Amino acid sequence: MRTRAPVHCGQRGVTLVVVSLLLVLTAVLGIASVRTLMLQDRMSTNTLDRTLALQSANRVMKNIQTVIEQEASNGNARFVAATTGHTDCLQANASDDASRCTADGWCLAPGAQCQPRWQDAGFSHWASVVSTHANDPSLASDTADAELANGLRQQYFVEYLGANFYCYANPTNGSTCKGYRVTVRTNPGTDRAMVQLQTNYIVELLPSGHWKSYSVSRHEIVN
C-alpha cells in the first residue's frame, strides 16, 4: 500500500501567492497594452486631422493667389476700400489697426509699431471661406460643403504691402512690383487641429500684359 507524501500548508500558500502575482502581472500588462493602443489611435487621428487641415489651408491659399492677380490688375480696388486711418499703433485710437482693413479681410499694410494681425486676439477681420462667396467667387471652395460637414473651418485675410518690390520676370521694371501677404488658418477656436499658413507674393505685369504672381516665402505660423 502506497502512502502519499504529506502536503504542507506552507506549500499551498506559496502556490497561491505565485498564482496571484501572475494574475496581477497579466492584468497590468493587459491594461498597459490597451493604453498603448488608445494612445496610438489618438496620435493617428490627430495626424490625420492635421493633414486634412493643412490640405484645406493650402487649397484656400491657392484660390487667394488667383484673386490677388485679379486684384493687382484691377488697381487694388478692395484695398482702396480700407480706410487709411492711423499707421502707427502707438497713436491714439489705433490699438488694433482695424481701421486699415475692410470687413471681409482685405487690409492695407500695418503700421510699423503694430502687433502682427495674426497674433492679435482682438483682430476681427478674418474672412470665412464658404461654398458660395458673394464678394469673391474665386474664393468659393468647391469642397467647402464637405469640409464644413467634417467640421473644418477656413479663414483668411490679405495685406497689401506696397508696390516697391523687386520684379523677377522682368527685371527692367526694377523694384516696382506689388507685394501681398496672405494668412490662412483652419479650425480656429475648436478642438480640431489648427493650422496657420502665411505666404508672401510678388505680383508683376508681364510684357504680354498679364499679371503673374510668385510665392517668395511660405511658412507655417506657430503661436
Who's near 221: CB < 8 A, 6+ residues apart? 118, 183, 196, 197, 198
28-68 tens-digit pLDDT: 888 877 777 776 656 665 777 778 788 888 888 888 888 88
- Between residues 106 and 82, which one has the greater pLDDT? 106
pTM for the model stands at 0.70
Phi, psi of 54 (to 5 degrees): -65, -45
Q: What Cα–Cα distance (Å) separates residue 137 from each residue in 48, 66, 75, 141, 143?
A: 29, 11, 18, 9, 14
Please, are residues 194 and 152 in contact by the beta-carbon 8 Å criterion? no
